[in-house]
Amino acid sequence: MSALVINNLSKSFGGLRVTRNVKLNVEPGERRLIIGPNGAGKTTLFNLITGELAPDAGSVSLFDRDITRMASRKRTHLGMARTYQIITLFARDTIQHNVTLALLGLSPLRWNPVAVLGRQSHLAVAARDALRRVGLEQIAERPLAETSYGERRRVEIAMALAQNPKVVLLDEPFAGLSIDERQDVRKLLIAIPREVTIVMIEHDMDVALDLADRITLLHFGEVIVEGTRAEVVADPRTREVYLGE
Amino acid sequence: MTNSILARRFAIAVAIVALVVLPYAIKEVYYVNIASQILLYAIFALGLNILVGYAGLVSLGHAGLFGVAAYVVAYLLTAGHGHALAIVAALTASLLATAGFAALSLRATGITFIMITLALGEIVWGLAYRWISLTNGDNGITVASRPAPFGIALSGARPFYVATLIVFLLAVAASSIFVRSPFGAALCGTRDQPRRMNALGYHVWLIRFWACMSSGFLSAVAGVLFVYYNQFISPQALALTASAEGLLMVISGGAGTLLGPVVGAALVVIVKNVVSAYVERWNFMLGAIFVAIVVFMPEGLVPGAARLVRSFWQATGRRKSVAPVTAERRQ
């Protein structure tokens, strides 16, 4: 059984075909890197997988379950989590509250209008655990508005991990980070246990290459090359579309 | 920590005692009635604040929901039914109207949401104005009597004030519980990052729908109190200006704060009733005050005043010690 199967997925915006017959098969526990130059359709592919966009054709399955027509919030309940390339966090709240919202999203408690959120100690404990994994436990009570860009990237990852997902989709987790910050994020991604399947987008090829088991190269919405790291790097088509001549 | 909680509880107790004693301390019935008006409009504003402040959805049709409840009470009483039935039917009818409003307007957010609610509010106003066989048109409907719950007649200004106060305190308590609840947090999340909330597994539409319903319920409660307070209802009470006044209360007091709408309701009602006795163009006064608030305290009177007090303490505290003062988080 595969963790994530994408079959002949297509999407057009008007005359622009952003995703063309994309096929993808990600095994459980795999680390899959999707690379491609700007405009290759990587984020669109993610939006199709998470259901934020509806495909024109093709199908998406999560652990053999067809989720092509499923609302994106329900996919989250099935164990799919994502981060955003453009940071999408709750700026007026604390780091802790951001992660708490991620936990609450999967809890039936989210409909409760009479309980006191601050007294839900199980949520607080779980939020601290998630923040410990990304090294932000010390500043959990800090308002998000007072954090650095690198810290926000890690909050994004903490929110995805807090949901205890089976499949995590990371949209450019290294974007805009300094070299030191990249090392921090790299370490915490390596520390994610193998029960979790990771699909990661990066447009900068070198950053995440060694984290991946398999690499898919996307160009103009099409899968050009797919294989192991060595295979993809050695492929002349990779050099052509990606590394430049 | 425990000290501040004690201080808070003490302040709440003092405020409640002051509100209870108030009508007996004031000799003139006129001012007792003004106080009742403030409280009933505060309930309306608290309801509107759920949408404007916490859901980030600005409604210009809330006077319509307020009006449905008021008209149902007036109509059923005129038809000879009892107060209990009239009140229950009014709340039910208003909730149904809210559900309809929500189903239509929640297809959009932002400006489009405002325009749809405005149109719906105008439809209710139009019905009240034109459906003369039901509403008596511009002449309105007179309500002969006020109810007498547990044998206590509310016909006098002071008993009516106390009854309104009890409902008001319940509304404030319900709002404060709501704000701190998981659902309240989810609602604020849909205001700030709806897309992310959806990705986190929340049903954004349904959360907004329940927010509309809570908001509509408080508006309906205020509508029932309004029709009993005036013992009269006419289309004027649900015109666009009434919805705009509600928004004015919420925004001038501080949207997204618990006490802001209450302070805003007091401001608007006082300017409307008291200042209008001295200044002929009181609308101008209200506008000028609103402009001043927007310029000097864009976040509203309650958060604005809190900010001033904080900066005052920081300024005086800095002279005595150099302890760092961390900015308090806005609720």
Task: Give pLDDT, residue B331.
Answer: 41
User: The domain A1-79+165-245 belongs to what CATH superfamily?
Assistant: P-loop containing nucleotide triphosphate hydrolases (3.40.50.300)
- Separation CA B263–CA B75 (nearest Å): 32
ipTM: 0.90
Question: Mind telling me how many Å the CA of A123 is from chain B's nearest CA?
Answer: 11
At residue A81, φ and ψ (nearest 5 deg) are: -130, 155
What value does the mean pLDDT take over residues B17-30? 86
- Separation CA B138–CA B117 (nearest Å): 23
CB within 8 Å: B193 and A77: no
For residue A106, give the chain B residue with the closest CA. B201
Q: Which H helix or E strand runs over A4?
A: strand A4-13
Using DSSP bridges, classify how beta strands A214-219 and A80-82 pair: parallel, antiparallel or unpaired.
unpaired
Please give the full DSSP string across B102-134, using - where no structure is assigned. Answer: HHHHTT--HHHHHHHHHHHHHHHHHHHHH-HHH
User: What is the residue-averaged pLDDT of chain B?
Assistant: 88
Of A50, A82, A101, the CB nearest to B189: A101
Q: Where in chain A is the domain with CATH 3.40.50.300?
A: 1-79+165-245
Substitution target in A94, A96, A114 with the highest count of B β-carbons within 10 Å is: A114
Instruction: Count how many pairs of residues, chain A against chain B, have C-beta atoms within 8 Å.
Output: 92
Of A73, A94, A110, the CB nearest to B329: A94
Of A105, A109, A116, the CB nearest to B200: A105
What value does the mean pLDDT take over residues B236-260? 91
Q: How many CB atoms lie within 10 A of CB A70?
A: 16
Of B182, B189, B196, the CB nearest to A115: B182
Tokens standing for residue B74: 């007036």
- B7 vs B219, which has greater pLDDT? B219
**Pick from A45, A54, A43: nearest CA to A26:** A45
**Pick from A114, A109, A87, A111: nearest CA to A98:** A87
- For residues B64 and B199, the answer to whether their CB atoms sit within 8 Å is no
Of A97, A102, A113, the CB nearest to B200: A102
Q: Which H helix or E strand runs over B45?
A: helix B29-49
Q: Is pLDDT above 70 for B53?
A: yes
Of A72, A109, A110, the CB nearest to B199: A72
Q: Which H helix or E strand runs over A167?
A: strand A167-171
Indicate the residue type of A28. Answer: P
Q: Which residue has the tokens 């980030």?
A: B56
CB within 8 Å: A112 and B183: yes
CB within 8 Å: B183 and A90: no
CB within 8 Å: B214 and A113: yes
- Separation CA B229–CA A29 (nearest Å): 67
Question: Mind telling me how many Å the CA of B89 is from chain A's nearest CA?
Answer: 24
The residues near B276 (Cβ < 8 Å, ≥ 6 apart) are: B282
* Segments in chain A below pLDDT 70: 242-245
Does B199 touch chain A if contact means CB atoms closer than 8 Å?
yes
Task: Give pLDDT, residue B330.
Answer: 43
Q: Which residue has the tokens 């090392």?
A: A183
Does B209 touch chain A if contact means CB atoms closer than 8 Å?
no
Task: Give pLDDT, residue A116.
Answer: 92
CB < 8 Å to B199, chain A: 50, 52, 72-73, 76, 82
Q: What is the CB-side half-sphere exposure of residue B112 using CA atoms within 13 A? A: 7
Task: Give pLDDT, residue B57.
Answer: 94
The residues near B60 (Cβ < 8 Å, ≥ 6 apart) are: B114, B117, B118, B121, B240, B243, B244, B247
Measure CA of the first residue to CA of the last residue in chain B; give whole Å. 17
Q: What is the pTM of this model?
A: 0.90
Q: Is pLDDT above 50 for B314?
A: yes
Question: Mind telling me how many Å the CA of B55 is from chain A's nearest CA?
Answer: 14
Does B193 touch chain A if contact means CB atoms closer than 8 Å?
yes
Q: In the structure, what pLDDT confidence band is assigned to residue B266 with cuts at 50, 70 and 90? A: very high
Interface of A with B (CB under 8 A): 50, 52, 72-74, 76-77, 82, 84, 88-94, 97, 100-102, 104-107, 109-118, 120, 143, 159, 163
pLDDT in tens, B175-218: 999 999 999 999 999 999 999 999 999 999 999 999 999 999 99
For residue B196, give the chain A residue with the closest CA. A88
- B208 vs B309, which has greater pLDDT? B208
- DSSP, collapsed to helix, strand or coil, labels residue B266 as helix
Percent of chain B with pLDDT over 90: 54
Please give the full DSSP string across B177-246, using - where no structure is assigned. Answer: HHHHSHHHHHHHHHHH-HHHHHHTT--HHHHHHHHHHHHHHHHHHHHHHHHHHHTEE-GGGGSHHHHHHH
- B40 vs B26, which has greater pLDDT? B40
Give the burial class of B128: count Cβ atoms within 10 A of its Cβ; 0-12 exposed, 13-18 middle, 19 or more buried.
buried
A2-16, A199-213, B155-169, B293-307: which range is least confident on average? A199-213
Q: How many CB atoms lie within 10 A of CB A75?
A: 23
At residue B141, φ and ψ (nearest 5 deg) are: -120, 135
CB within 8 Å: A52 and B199: yes
Question: Mind telling me how many Å the CA of A189 is from chain B's nearest CA?
Answer: 20
pLDDT in tens, B64-115: 999 999 999 999 998 888 889 999 999 999 999 999 999 999 998 889 999 9
- B7 vs A168, which has greater pLDDT? A168
The residues near B99 (Cβ < 8 Å, ≥ 6 apart) are: B209, B212, B213, B216
Task: Give pLDDT, residue B318.
Answer: 60
CB within 8 Å: B193 and A72: no
**Pick from A162, A164, A199: nearest CA to A22:** A199
- For residues B73 and B238, the answer to whether their CB atoms sit within 8 Å is no
- Separation CA A232–CA A206 (nearest Å): 12
Task: Give pLDDT, residue B22.
Answer: 86
Convert B171-184 to b/e letters by CB count within 10 Å (16 or more is b).
bbebbeebbbbbbb
For residue A93, give the chain B residue with the closest CA. B329
The runs of H, that is alpha helices, within chain A are 42-50, 72-77, 95-104, 121-133, 149-162, 179-190, 205-208, 229-234, 236-238
- Separation CA A7–CA A17 (nearest Å): 16
CB within 8 Å: A104 and B186: yes
The residues near A160 (Cβ < 8 Å, ≥ 6 apart) are: A81, A82, A83, A102, A168, A170
Q: How far is CA B253 from the centre of its chain?
A: 11
Tokens standing for residue A218: 């996307």
- For residues B222 and B250, the answer to whether their CB atoms sit within 8 Å is no
Q: Please provide the CATH number assigned to the domain covering B30-292.
A: 1.10.3470
Task: Give pLDDT, residue A244.
Answer: 62
Please give the full DSSP string across A46-109, using - where no structure is assigned. Answer: HHHHHTSS--SEEEEEETTEE-TTS-HHHHHHTTEEE--SS----TTSBHHHHHHHHHHTTSGG
Q: In the structure, what pLDDT confidence band is assigned to residue B146 with cuts at 50, 70 and 90? A: confident
Q: What is the CB-side half-sphere exposure of residue A78 using CA atoms within 13 A? A: 18
CB < 8 Å to B192, chain A: 90-92
